């Protein structure tokens, strides 16, 4: 891993997408795409119940992807945005993540 990805200044988001060859699709080529984005605007966020500064784009991307993975895109956006606001809290795990699997 390149060192510039390991030590990111505040407001920098690193996203990496990988596709690997599998036995079920032998013609699939291995490819990787990496993107480094730098937010210049910040929002107040929450991680594990503690207030943090979150890059505006990075935070919205994280919440969108979390809602997408949980199948919440078709539901009320303001309700689901709040539900995925703090994805590492116990409250999120029990009320959203675990509840969705049951």
Domain boundaries, the chain: 1-38, 41-102
Give me the tens of pLDDT residue by residue for the chain, a chain 102 residues long. 444 444 455 666 666 666 555 556 666 566 667 777 788 889 898 888 899 888 888 888 888 888 888 888 888 877 788 888 888 898 888 888 887 666
Number of residues assigned to the chain: 102
CB 83 within 8 A of CB 96: yes
β strands within the chain, DSSP E: 12-19, 31-38, 42-47, 50-55
């Amino acid at each position: 891993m390149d060192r510039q990805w390991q030590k990111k200044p505040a407001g920098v988001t690193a996203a990496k997408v990988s596709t690997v060859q599998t036995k079920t699709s032998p013609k699939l080529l291995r490819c990787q795409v990496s993107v480094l984005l730098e937010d210049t605007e910040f929002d107040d966020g929450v991680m594990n119940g503690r207030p943090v500064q979150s890059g505006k784009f990075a935070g919205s991307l994280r919440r969108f992807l979390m809602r997408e993975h949980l199948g919440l895109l078709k539901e009320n956006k303001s309700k689901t945005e709040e539900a995925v606001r703090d994805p590492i809290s116990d409250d999120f795990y029990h009320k959203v993540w675990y509840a969705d699997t049951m």
